[in-house]
Amino acid sequence: MRELYPEITRVKKYSLKVSSLHTLYVEECGNPKGIPALFLHGGPGAGISPNHRRFFNPEKYRIILFDQRGAGKSKPYAELAENTIWDLIADIELIRLKLKVSKWLVFGGSWGSTLALAYAISHPERILHLIVRGIFLCRHEEILWFYQYGAHQIFPDHWKDYVKVIPENERHDMLSAFYRRLTSPDKKVRLEAARAWSLWEGATICLEPNKAMHHEFGEIAVSLARIECHYFMHNCFFPDDNYLLNNAHKLQNISAEIIHGRYDIVCPVKNAFDLKEKMPRARLTIVPASGHAAFEPGIRSALIEATDRFRKK
C-alpha cells in the first residue's frame, strides 16, 4: 500500500476574482517547473484540504488546487447564484491562464470526476492526462439511488437520521424537499437540513465506519448540502441526462486512469464500467475492500500509483 507523500507546507496562495460576485481561493505548491497538475475537489461544495496536495510527488509535479465557487475559502460562502458547471469550467480556464499553464494533468474524484470529465470534453487540447476516481456521471438514476432509494437498503440506520427532518408526506421526492429547506430564509431550518444531508453522505462514504470522516462532513455541512442539492436539482446544468457518456468520444486520445472502489455506495461501481465502455483506451482499476473515499487505503494507493505512472511518461 502506498502512503501519501509528506506534508507540503510551502504553498503559494492566490485570490482570483472570477465574476462580480465570486472570488476563488487558489493554491500552488510542489515544483514550479514540474508537470502541472490540477486537483478538483468533490461535492460540489466540499472544498480542498492540505492532504489533497499529497497525492502528487512534489519534486515532479507543480500542484494546483482551488476551492470551487461557494466552497472552502472561496467567497461568498455557500453561494448558489452564478454557480453552474459551466461557470466552474470557465473558472478553470481563468486559473490556467493566470498561472500560464499550456496543458495539465487533471485529477478529480466523485464530483471532481464529473467536473474533470466535463472540462476535458470542453477543452481536450488542454489535457495531458486524466485521473478520475469514484465516478459520478450525474445521471438521474445515480441521484435517485443515493438520495431517494437504493442506498437506504444498505445503511437503514443512517437513512433514518437523513429522512427524519423531512415530513412523511414529502418523502416521495427527497431532493425537492431538501432543496426547499436548504434555500429557506430560516437559518435554523437550513442548518438542520444541511447537517442531515451531509452526515448521511459522511456516514456512507467509507467501507468501514470512520468517525473522523463523519465529523468532517458535519463541519462542511452548509456549503456541501446547499451546493450539491442546487446542482442535483438542475441536473448539474447539463443539457441532457447522459451528457458525459454521450460526449466521452472526445476523450479517446487522452491517456486516462479510472479508479473506483468495489463497494462504493455513494457512486456505484457500475458508473466506472459505463465510462470505461466509452473510453476503451483508459485504464480501469477496481479497488477491492474499498468504498467511495479517496483516503481509504486501497484507493489512496491506486491514486498515488497513477500519479507516479504519469510523471514517468
Q: What is the pLDDT of residues 94-122, one digit of tens each?
A: 999 999 999 999 999 999 999 999 999 99
Residues 162 and 180 in one domain: yes
> Residue 68 carries which side chain, given as an amino acid letter?
Q
φ, ψ dihedrals at 87, nearest 5°: -65, -40
Mean pLDDT of all residues belonging to the chain: 96
| pLDDT at 268 (0 to 100) | 98
Residue 162's nearest CA partner among 178, 176, 150 is 178
Whose CA is closest to 225, among 180, 185, 177, 193? 193
Which structural domain, as residue segments, surrounds residue 109? 11-139+237-311
Q: What pLDDT is stored for residue 213 in this prediction?
A: 75
pLDDT band at 216 (very low <50, low <70, confident <90, very high): confident
Q: Are the beta carbons of 5 and 34 closer than 8 angstroms? A: no
6 falls within a domain? no
What confidence score (pLDDT) does residue 26 get? 98
Kindly state the DSSP code that residue 249 receives in the 8-state scheme: G
Same domain, yes or no: 254 and 115: yes
C-alpha cell at 37: 497538475
Q: Is 61 helix (H, G, I), strand (E, B) or coil?
A: strand
Active-site positions read 110, 264, 292
Identify whether 205 is part of a domain.
Answer: yes
- Residue of 1, 27, 31, 30 whose CA lies nearest to 14: 27
pLDDT computed for residue 220 by the predictor: 83
pLDDT of residue 123: 98
| H-helix or E-strand spanning residue 127 | strand 127-133
Same domain, 40 and 134: yes
pLDDT at 313 over 80: no
pTM comes to 0.97
Q: Considering the domain boundaries, does residue 3 fall inside one?
A: no
Identify whether residues 284 and 164 lie together within a single domain. no
Q: Are 246 and 240 in contact (CB under 8 A)?
A: yes
Strand 35-40 with 11-17, pairing: unpaired
Q: What integer pLDDT is reported at residue 312 of this predicted model? A: 79
* Residues 224 and 248 both lie in one domain: no
Q: What is the H or E stretch that residue 91 is in? A: helix 85-98
CA dihedral 155, 160, 161, 167 (to 10 degrees): 140
Residue 91 placed within a domain: yes
CA distance 235 to 231: 6
> Are 132 and 260 members of one domain?
yes
pLDDT of res. 209: 83
Instruction: Name the domain boundary from 185, 210, 236.
Output: 236
Give residue-wise pLDDT tens across range 183-213: 999 999 999 999 999 999 999 999 998 877 7
- Structural contact between residues 56 and 37, judged by C-beta atoms closer than 8 angstroms: yes
The pLDDT value recorded for residue 38 is 99
pLDDT at 168: 97
How much is the average pLDDT of 67-79? 98
In terms of domains, do 262 and 303 share one? yes
* DSSP three-state, residue 260: strand
- E-strand ranges in 134-276 read 255-261
Model pLDDT, residue 70: 98
Q: How many domains does the chain have?
A: 2
Q: What is the pLDDT of residue 210?
A: 81
β-strands 61-67, 23-30 pairing: antiparallel
* Helix, strand or coil, per DSSP, at residue 157: helix
How does residue 272 score in pLDDT terms, banded at 50, 70 and 90? very high
Shared-domain flag, residues 224 and 149: yes
The larger pLDDT score, comparing residue 167 to residue 216, is at 167
C-alpha cell at 161: 437520521
- Percent pLDDT > 90 in the chain is 95
Domain boundary at 236, 261, 281, which?
A: 236
Q: What is the pLDDT of residues 8-67, one digit of tens each?
A: 999 999 999 999 999 999 999 999 999 999 999 999 999 999 999 999 999 999 999 999
Domain match, 131 and 38 both: yes
83, part of any domain: yes
Whether residues 299 and 262 fall in one domain: yes
> Is residue 218 pLDDT above 80, yes or no?
no
Domain for residue 5, yes or no? no
If asked whether residues 71 and 133 sit together in one domain, one would say: yes
Share of the chain above pLDDT 70, in %: 99
pLDDT per position as a tens digit, 132-159: 999 999 999 999 999 999 999 999 999 9
H helices then E strands: how many in the chain?
11, 8
CATH code assigned at 305: 3.40.50.1820
What is the rounded CA–CA span in Å between residue 24 and residue 36? 19
Residue 261 β-bridge partners: 287
What pLDDT does 211 receive?
79
Average pLDDT over residues 275-298: 97
* Domain endpoint, select from 206, 236, 266: 236
HSE at residue 51, side-chain half, CA atoms within 13 A, is: 7
Instruction: For residue 220, tell me if it sits in a domain.
Output: yes
Q: Are residues 67 and 114 both part of a single domain?
A: yes
Cell representation of residue 179: 432543496
